[in-house]
Chains A and B, each alone.
Chain A
Amino acid sequence: EPEVTQTPSHQVTQMGQEVILRCVPISNHLYFYWYRQILGQKVEFLVSFYNNEISEKSEIFDDQFSVERPDGSNFTLKIRSTKLEDSAMYFCASSEWGDRNEKLFFGSGTQLSVL
């Protein structure tokens, strides 16, 4: 079965540094998403992306965050200046369409540790 691929699986960074998390969505999918999960907490929606534009974003997705589809296969999440509270597991997801009758496919995540 096709899958969403995320790299790296673990990322350690210093507070204030920029990080880029990378995702390769399923090839024929058109809608892309980022979620995060702080240890012991719920999976939280960050942003959805379609046609090279942000479709929706949550309150968490402030000016420190940005997303990009730099080429035909990658989808990235950038955190400009990391904070301690950005430490979390970040999940990328994709779906074929953005219809309501749709399922999301999630990657296995990138564990981000901010020191």
Chain B
Amino acid sequence: DAKTTQPPSMDCAEGRAANLPCNHSTISGNEYVYWYRQIHSQGPQYIIHGLKNNETNEMASLIITEDRKSSTLILPHATLRDTAVYYCIDENSGGYQKVTFGTGTKLQVIP
């Protein structure tokens, strides 16, 4: 099972930054942290991943604490289309890439 902890739900005003926290206190030194999202029963969508350094792409930023036990996904200007379930995934190192989804955070962007 997923070894991360996320709040079950969050609200964010449209146009504001959405900051989604995740605890991954059991993460080991070489395990990545991945973020995916699922918009209303569509297929999950990759957002971003990182190991130690903060990462940014066209979708979001990922801030990883120095001890790597927690991270925050930042959507800088949330839109209504960002309403989704966001999954923080502590890599399951099984030899082959396998994403193990937990229950995630349901982000509701409010007009």
Which residues of A does B touch, CB under 8 Å? 4, 31, 33, 35, 37, 42-45, 48, 50, 55-56, 89, 91, 93, 95, 97-109
Contacts and interface: CB of A to CB of B under 8 A. Distances in A.
Please classify the interface of chain B as helix (H, G, I), strand (E, B), loop, or mixed, using the class held by over half of its residues: loop
A10 to B, nearest CB: 12
Q: Range of interface residues on chain B? A: 20 to 34
A110 to B, nearest CB: 10
A89 B101 CA distance: 15
A85 B49 CA distance: 33
B34 A109 contact: no
Nearest first, the 3 A-B pairs at minimum CB distance are A106-B43, A43-B101, A103-B46
Contact of B45 (A99, A106, A109): A106
Interface of B: 31-32, 34, 36, 38, 41-46, 49, 51, 91, 93-103
Given A37-B41, A43-B38, A45-B99, 8 more contacts: A31-B97, A55-B95, A56-B95, A97-B97, A100-B91, A100-B97, A101-B32, A109-B41
Contacts of A35: 44, 101
Contact of A89 (B41, B95, B102): B41
Contacts of B46: 103-105
Nearest to A111: B41
A104 B38 contact: no
